[in-house]
Amino acid sequence: MERILITGGAGFIGRFVADELLRRGHEVRVLDSLIEQVHGETDGSQMLNPHAELIRGDVRNKDVVAKALQGVDSVIHLAAEVGVGQSMYEVERYTSTNDVGTAVLFEALIDQPVRRVVTASSMSIYGEGLYRDAEGELVQDAERKGLKDGQANWEPIDDLGRPLTPVATPEWKRPNLSSIYALNKYVQERTTHIMAAPYGIEGVCLRLFNVYGPGQALSNPYTGVLAIFASRLLNGQQPMIFEDGEQRRDFVHVSDVARAFADALVLPSAVGGTFNIGSGTDRSVTEVATELARAMGKNEIAPEIVGKARIGDIRHCFCDTSLAADKLGFRATQDFQEGLAELAIWVAQQTAQDRVEQMRAELEARGLVA
């Protein structure tokens, strides 16, 4: 058994990872700055497993990071500012925390090397997912140009104006970095792979798709879409959906994600790899909002279809899970309907400040809604 440091380990995903590692008999140390946007005014540390050691500090502080690495065997690197929209105007904050924080961690690892580092990446690095054109050829660089209010067709098209068909996105698809957050996550990936091997460290990256489950930051309007929808519904408000709501995504339960991190930490076949972690099933955003409302007993609240696009958003991206299944033996096991029911029960016991209108106003004021 090992002592494992989880950076950002008091966050939504980090707490589940900590629980999974503790169940497997490891010792867990958490480094987290406990920022208010994510953890609220009460800092959220009380939600962390009491058997995990907590060090409160910033991943950009080299002294704090060096202290956190003392006696550690492996690292799971989750610390990051999260949110595509907010990253487009709080550029320094996102780049500093995500990219500089990762640089500080790996610089500290030169003097205090560990066996393995598993870094959390994101499906956002793909930009648009993989598509197939009318001739059946795969298209890696699909783009939407000239987005405007209420347009009839939000779908990417080819050079002849023909629609493209979305297909599951594999790891070999070229990155198409359409937001600062996506750029940050790609830098974290490359830093991990560039820095690990020369210093005798095993590096692994997991590209997470849309993670959901109990414990999400309901009052953070830049977090996962299901948490945002849940906050709106809890406050009797319509879930706000940009474009026409037919965007397709892959939703994976946080317990499956935690298991993927724990396995990636030990499997020899993971070393040097980058893997998609998703459910392998795609759903429209409107479908998800409607199903969540039903699970929460709010059937009468239909989603609001905004008819506008956010700069940096993409149309379709869902997960090809075959590489993770082959190399990690990973398959998501949580049933989506059961996961929504579990989320609904937890949300009913919470209070949440609905800040979605504030988020929309901030984006519109900066010209980030088309």
Tell me the catalytic residues. Answer: 181
Closest CA to 65 of 100, 91, 25: 100
> Cα–Cα distances in Å, from 273 out to 2, 49, 77, 202?
21, 29, 15, 10
Which value, in Å, is the radius of gyration of the alpha carbons in the chain? 20
> Cα–Cα distances in Å, from 132 out to 87, 163, 255?
30, 9, 32
| Type of residue at 293 | A
> Cα–Cα distances in Å, from 101 out to 58, 116, 204?
8, 18, 17
Q: SS3 for the chain, per residue?
A: CCEEEEECCCCHHHHHHHHHHHHCCCEEEEEECCCHHHHCCCCCHHHCCCCCEEEECCCCCHHHHHHHHCCCCEEEECCCCCCHHHHCCCHHHHHHHHHHHHHHHHHHHHHCCCCEEEEEEEHHHHCCCCEECCCCCEECCCCCCCCCCCCCCCCCECCCCCECEECCECCCCCCCCCCHHHHHHHHHHHHHHHHHHHHCCEEEEEEECEEECCCCCCCCCCCCHHHHHHHHHHCCCCCEECCCCCCEEEEEEHHHHHHHHHHHCCCHHHCCCEEEECCCCEEEHHHHHHHHHHHCCCCCCCCEECCCCECCCCCEECECCHHHHHHHCCCCCCCHHHHHHHHHHHHCCCCCCCCHHHHHHHHHHCCCEC
